[in-house]
Amino acid sequence: MKNTAELKRLIKSFEVALEKISLQAPQQIYWVSRKKAAELYDVSVRTLLNWKNEGLIEAKEINGKVYYSILPLTKPTK
């Protein structure tokens, strides 16, 4: 089926193009408290710590409080 193969090739090329666009587009990063990050991602504070230790999410300590980076509409994946 030549049409199926052509469709698969086109889908793959669109996926590659979208990935390139998303890598080039600047994304706004928000810094939120530990509690707010856990609420937004619907996970426990411990999961946030695990994600930070695994390099899946960035955290900063400012004046003794921990803040996590949040990209809109994204959730870290392993």
Q: Is the pLDDT reported for residue 1 higher than 60?
A: no
Q: Which two tokens stand for residue 43?
A: 């996970």
pLDDT of res. 62: 87
Phi, psi of 30 (to 5 degrees): -110, 145
Angle at 23 between CA 59 and CA 34, to 5 degrees: 15
Handedness of CA 40, 41, 46, 50 (dihedral sign): negative
Q: Which two tokens stand for residue 58?
A: 């960035």
pLDDT tens per residue, range 18-57: 776 666 656 677 889 999 988 988 889 999 899 899 888 8
pTM higher than 0.75 for the full model?
Answer: no
